[in-house]
Amino acid sequence: MSQDSSHFDPELAITQVRREFGEHGGVAPSIERSSTFTVMEPGIMPDIFDGKRSPDREGCYLYSRHFNPTIDVLDRYLAAMEGTEFAVGTASGMAAISCALLQLCDAGSHIVSSSTIYGGTHALLAQLLPRHGIQTSFVHPRDIGAFEAAIQPNTKVIYAETMGNPTLAIPNIEALANLAHKHGIQLVVDNTFAPMVMSPARHGADIVVYSMTKYVNGASDLLAGCICCSREFGHSLYDLQTGCAMLLGPTMDPRVAFDIMQRLPHLAIRMREHGRRALAIAERLQDLGLRVLYPGLSTHPDYDLAQTLVNPGYGYGGMLALDCETQERANELMGVLQNEVGFGLIAVSLGYFDTLMSVSSCSTSSEIPDEEQTKMGLNPGLLRLSVGISGSLESRLAQIEKGVKKVFSS
Ligand code: PLP
């Protein structure tokens, strides 16, 4: 994988591989819904099972848990977007994360993870994987020394999120990649918060995972994920004897692949607009004297690092966190914004066209024990906003200012 990140444009990369027509020449690709496929000559089938033939090597499709033509098209687009050789679409973000990690780890393996990650991933690492003999040490995403100190002879993976959920702490991906490779370890990075904004594989990450339920799809109407990786790792995921994508059944539905394919062409436009509005709202809230975490603000602790990681022209993403100091005040603000001024929806998840708001400590980070939440800088009053792209920006700024003034002055 190239590490020249200077001129990478993920949108351009997708347009260069987008060549698919529908079955009858349609401008939209066809959806292949068959679970199984006809083999024209009986001798071909054993060759496919022996790995001698595949759809791209004088073979054909066999069974859709293995390969499916519609999902394959999406996978090619995703690999192009991420600058990796290969991509594997999955049924959810958690399917992508768990399959990637289980493919890399055996019973007795160890993972060093950023502590600032999605609560479900934290639970996977801290609760579920130890039941299968895989242990994880958690360290602060900014402390590269702590990552190194936590490495053990059995460490197989360094794990981090490009923008940590929900405090938006940004780890130094290049430093983590160098550290991982010095120790013969794989760096796995979740880029769910920053598609197109950041391209971690271009900075040395070996495997990039996504929940495409969020920005990549952008409509909050389906669940999906993907693993972007080398061809070798992708093939290992499909190994008939040991492949997690093959044997754990995390398969994406071809209809979901089609829906995402139709929304990828406007992902770049959406991400730029999410970023433009999130920055404007972050600045307004900061001007009102509030403590805001947003990587595009010069007050953000990782602002300088972010400059070295973002792809030019895509902004800093649509996620911001507002410190309301107490959970009560954060709840009050969400209520006022949704029910009185008409700004946003009280809902978990992110990447929708409307703003989504949740108090992380008691929702999507609630799996993380209180003392660890404190260590990662997640206080109970932190309100996470996934800033939407609907309505005029001016009207949205007026709405949030009205709500904030009401709640913070009371
Ligand atoms: N990664 C991050 C950063 C997330 O925020 C989430 C869900 O919120 C996931 C992964 C899991 O994704 P999914 O719900 O698609 O399984």
Give the model confidence (pLDDT) of 354-383 as tens digits. 999 999 999 988 989 999 898 888 999 999
Model confidence pTM above 0.75: yes
From-to residues of CATH 3.40.640.10 in the chain? 10-265
What count of residues does the chain have? 410
* For range 61-83, the mean pLDDT: 96
Q: Can you give the pLDDT at residue 33? A: 97
SS3 content of the chain, % helix, strand, coil (to 5): 40, 15, 45
Burial class (CB in 10 A: 0-12, 13-18, 19+), 40: exposed
Place of tokens 């929708």: 352
Q: Is pLDDT of 3 > 50?
A: no
Per the CB < 8 A criterion, the answer to whether 70 and 252 are in contact is no
At 183-241, the pLDDT tens digits run 999 999 999 999 999 999 999 999 999 999 999 999 999 999 999 999 999 999 999 99
191 Cα to the center of ligand 1, angstroms: 10
At 291-334, the pLDDT tens digits run 999 999 999 999 999 999 999 999 999 999 999 999 999 999 99
What does each C-alpha distance from 270 to 195, 316, 323 come to in angstroms? 10, 12, 26
356-359 and 345-346 strand pairing = parallel
Per the CB < 8 A criterion, the answer to whether 71 and 87 are in contact is no
Place of tokens 């991982």: 180
Q: What is the mean pLDDT of the chain?
A: 95
DSSP element (H, E) containing 248: none
**Residue 36 carries which DSSP code?**
B
Confidence of residue 1 (pLDDT cuts 50, 70, 90): very low
Place of tokens 């003392």: 371
Per the CB < 8 A criterion, the answer to whether 117 and 74 are in contact is no
Q: Whose alpha carbon is nearest atom 13 of ligand 1?
A: 93
96 Cα to the center of ligand 1, angstroms: 10
Q: Whose alpha carbon is nearest atom 2 of ligand 1?
A: 118
Mutate to test the pocket of ligand 1, among 192, 319, 367 (most ligand atoms within 8 A of CB): 192
Whole-number percent of the chain with pLDDT over 70: 99
Q: Is pLDDT of 2 > 50?
A: no
Q: Whose alpha carbon is nearest atom 11 of ligand 1?
A: 93
CATH topology of domain 267-408: Aspartate Aminotransferase, domain 1 (3.90.1150)
Burial class (CB in 10 A: 0-12, 13-18, 19+), 232: exposed
- The residues, ordered by sequence, that sit 6+ positions from 96 with a Cβ below 8 Å of its Cβ are 88, 90, 209, 210, 211, 225, 226, 227, 250
Q: Is pLDDT of 156 > 80?
A: yes
Q: Can you give the pLDDT at residue 20? A: 85
User: Which of 94-98, 101-105, 264-268, 362-366 has the lowest average pLDDT?
Assistant: 362-366
Confidence of residue 5 (pLDDT cuts 50, 70, 90): very low
356-359 and 382-386 strand pairing = antiparallel
* For range 156-173, the mean pLDDT: 96
90 Cα to the center of ligand 1, angstroms: 12
Q: Can you give the pLDDT at residue 56? A: 81
Mutate to test the pocket of ligand 1, among 94, 97, 248 (most ligand atoms within 8 A of CB): 94
Ligand 1 pocket list (CB less than 6 A): 92-94, 118, 120-121, 161, 165, 190, 192, 211, 213, 223, 225, 349, 364
From-to residues of CATH 3.90.1150.10 in the chain? 267-408
Q: Whose alpha carbon is nearest atom 5 of ligand 1?
A: 118
Q: Is pLDDT of 398 > 70?
A: yes
Mutate to test the pocket of ligand 1, among 214, 248, 378 (most ligand atoms within 8 A of CB): 214
* For range 11-24, the mean pLDDT: 92
21 Cα to the center of ligand 1, angstroms: 31
Q: How far apart are CA 395 and CA 11, in angstroms?
A: 30
Q: Is pLDDT of 271 > 70?
A: yes
Q: How far apart are CA 318 and CA 195, in angstroms?
A: 11
Q: Is pLDDT of 65 > 70?
A: yes
Q: Can you give the pLDDT at residue 51? A: 83
Collect contacts of 33-41 with beta carbons under 8 A, ≥24 apart: 33/70, 33/254, 33/255, 34/64, 35/63, 35/64, 35/65, 36/62, 36/63, 36/64, 37/61, 37/62, 37/63
**Residue 129 carries which DSSP code?**
G
Q: Whose alpha carbon is nearest atom 14 of ligand 1?
A: 93
Q: How far apart are CA 251 and CA 68, in angstroms?
A: 10
210 Cα to the center of ligand 1, angstroms: 8
* For range 235-259, the mean pLDDT: 97
228 Cα to the center of ligand 1, angstroms: 16
Read off the tokens for 173.
């991906």
One-letter amino acid at 17 equals V
Q: Whose alpha carbon is nearest atom 12 of ligand 1?
A: 93
Read off the tokens for 47.
């060759």
At 109-149, the pLDDT tens digits run 999 999 999 999 999 999 999 999 999 999 999 999 999 99
Q: Can you give the pLDDT at residue 309? A: 97
225 Cα to the center of ligand 1, angstroms: 8
Mutate to test the pocket of ligand 1, among 165, 168, 350, 358 (most ligand atoms within 8 A of CB): 165
Q: Can you give the pLDDT at residue 139? A: 97
Please report how the helices 267-287 and 393-409 are oriented relative to each other, as an axis angle in degrees rounded to 10: 40
Per the CB < 8 A criterion, the answer to whether 373 and 361 are in contact is yes
What does each C-alpha distance from 387 to 199, 335, 392, 393, 400 come to in angstroms? 21, 16, 13, 11, 11
| Alpha carbons within 13 A on the beta-carbon side of 372 | 19
Q: Can you give the pLDDT at residue 6? A: 61
Q: Which CATH number fits domain 10-265: 1.20.1250.20, 3.40.640.10, 1.10.3720.10, 3.40.50.1820?
A: 3.40.640.10
Q: Whose alpha carbon is nearest atom 15 of ligand 1?
A: 93
Q: Which atom of ligand 1 is nearest to the CA of 161?
A: 3
Q: How far apart are CA 258 and CA 28, in angstroms?
A: 9
